[in-house]
Structure 1
Amino acid sequence: MSDRMGICNICGSYKQLTKEHVPPKKAFNNGRWTEYLYEENQWADNPLILPKNKRINQGGITFFSICGKCNNDTGRWYARSFSDFCHYNMDILRRVKGRTSLYVPNEINPLRVIKQIITMFFAINDNEFRIRHINLVKFILNQDEYPLPPEYKVLAYYKVDENLRYIQESFIGNFKSGPKPIMITEISHPPFGFLLTNATDKNEIDTRLENITYFSFFPIEEKRLINLKLNTLPTVINIPGDYRSKKEIEEAIMKSKSRRK
């Protein structure tokens, strides 16, 4: 228990905030991780250069953004199903050395899994996220609420490298003209990466992402054998929806420099 007081990112009450592991501790989030301390404009010339200043953290990635009741309730309702889902798929990835392109059968509780994913997005975002997406509050605090509100989609991919990605709500697109910018928030931690978005089609972000919104169309107690096929994608730099390899980014940097000469 912490002594941090604040507004809960889920229920909106001013309470004592507790430590929330994202993803849950039993979903491979209980070890050491490195936090790189970027300075302002450090990415201007080459985003591939890591800063010299870094911090080694223990005990998994955590956030103090959810009150004890919301933390305990969502953990009890959804975390175990999600952790089982992660363990099964991590075993598959280890067997194929991260290069799977097969349909992988998963017997899961789909609604509990996707509700845990949405809970994690509340944990990593700021308190205003709850206000902007109040329909999602109802979705996770009511176990029997389904499906996901129609304006949202959850996209997924396999994640095996150590470049983690935790990105709060962002917007991509042309802000001056054209279609309305797309909302996106992303969590990438082995064995999965997840995006929550209001994009009308996954092609607006990356065609290699798999739409798993259908997980939300099953009753809370129902288990299903899901034939899941996900691409394994890199997250080299901390830009939402960017799955270029290191080589592709290096080539883009060289082209940009040559145009400036």
Structure 2
Amino acid sequence: MKKVGICRICGKYAKLTFEHVPPQSAFNSNPVFFQKSVHLHDKKSFLYGKKIRSNQGAGGYYLCKSCNNLTGSYYGDSYKKFAYMGMMALTHRILASKDITFEYALQPLNILKQILAMFMAIDTSDQLLNLEGLADFILDKDSRALPDSLRVFVYHTITKQVRNGWGMARTEKGFHHLGEITFPPFGVVYALDSEPTRNDFYEITDFKNFNFNQTVQARLSIPFLTPKTYIPGLYN
């Protein structure tokens, strides 16, 4: 059976293709187990407490073929290299250190756009699909016009506690509209029209200021965090 629906980047009704989140080449090629709301909240359901197996890796039928191919060909390899370097940083980390400092050779704009494409893919609320200018920023490889209301952050993690979702959290800093994806070696977070839940995330919003395919050497100090639950924004 063909899977059809609204592409979560371009918004067109089309046949949907499987989108790996993160890219398949970024350690996402093995089967994974995940849970939806009914598995976590509905105690009356026979599905409560159970998990779904995805043999293709983490992801789903989110994007049309055009958006899937475009984002993959433009940005996928850049994110893969970023993930491989991030995994090297994890394996050489000093366990007593809160932050992991490592020398990266990276393509900042490409990485930022891949991360935002991932967030758009999993966003069932349509708040990112309806955010003016975001789809254009992703689909135009040369665009640097990221909407001002959106900020993006990264942290290191080794957990496979899946947090592929969006939501709202409340901390002493106030209300936060956020989304989060965890998949080693990184967790990535966005904050929309609000502050992030923590002050120690490594912010990569300024990656928008580079050119497409521009490679830079950068020494990044990225915090190591362990998600507390499946709910975005909470950590041990």
Which amino acid counterpart does residue 67 of structure 2 have in structure 1?
A: C
Larger % of helix: which? 1
1:186-212 per-position Cα deviation (integer Å, ceiling 9, x unaligned): 11110100111125544xx11221111
Aligned mates of 1:199, 1:127 — CA distance in 2: 15
Deviations 1:104-152 (A, max 9, x none): 1111110000000000001101262344313211110111110522221
Letter in 2 for 1:83: K
Query: Structure 1: how far apart are the matches of 2:173 and 2:95?
Result: 36
Give the alignment's Cα RMSD to 1 decimal. Answer: 2.4
Aligned counterpart for 2:93 among listed residues 79, 93, 96: 96
Deviates more, 1:228-237 or 1:66-75: 228-237
- 8 Å contact from structure 1 (residues 105, 228) kept in 2: yes
Q: Secondary structure at the match of 1:90?
A: helix
Instruction: Give the match for residue 114 of structure 1.
Output: 112
Aligned match of 1:247:
none
**Aligned counterpart, 1:193:** 187
* SS across alignment from 1:10: coil
Query: Partner residue of 1:28?
Result: 27
Q: Offset of 1:181 from its aligned partner?
A: 3.6
Amino acid at match of 1:157: Y
Q: 1:99 to 1:154 in 2, by over 3 A?
A: farther
**Is 1:65 the equivalent of 2:65?**
no
Q: Percent identity?
A: 28
Which of 21, 35, 42 is matched with 1:40 structurally? Answer: 42
Gaps of 5+ in 1: 43-50, 245-261
- Aligned with residue 234 of structure 1, among 191, 208, 226: 226
Unaligned stretches of 5+ residues in structure 2: none
Identify the residue that residue 252 of structure 1 maps to in structure 2: none
Given the two structures, how large is their TM-score scaled by the length of structure 1? 0.80
Query: 1:39 Cα shift?
Result: 4.0
1:216 maps to which residue?
208
Q: Is the 8 A contact 1:93 1:99 kept in 2?
A: no
More strand by share: 2
Larger Rg belongs to: 1
Q: Partner of 1:146 in structure 2?
A: 144
Do the aligned residues in 2 keep the contact of 1:171 with 1:182 (CA within 8 Å)?
A: yes
Matched position secondary structure for 1:64: strand
Residue 235 of structure 2 is matched in structure 1 by 243
Are the aligned partners of 1:33 and 1:57 in contact in 2 as well (CA < 8 Å)?
yes
Aligned residue for 2:180, secondary structure, equals strand
Q: AA paired with 2:101?
A: Y
- Contact 2:133 2:145 (C-alpha < 8 Å) held by counterparts: no
Partner deviation per Cα, 1:62-106 (whole Å, 9 max, x = no partner): 211110000000100000000110011102212337766342111
The 1:159/1:10 distance shift into structure 2, 3 A limit, reads same
Q: 1:210 to 1:26 in 2, by over 3 A?
A: same
Distance 1:86 1:144 in 2: 22
Relative to structure 1, is the Cα distance of residues 96 and 180 closer, same or farther in structure 2, using a 3 angstrom cutoff? closer
| AA partner of residue 188 (structure 1) | T
- Partner SS for 1:242: coil
What SS class does the counterpart of residue 129 from structure 1 fall into? Answer: coil
Please give the secondary structure, in 2, of the residue aligned with 1:240.
Answer: coil
Q: Report the TM-score when normalising by structure 2.
A: 0.88
Kept in 2: contact 1:9–1:127 (CA 8 A)? no
**Code of the aligned partner of 2:71:** T
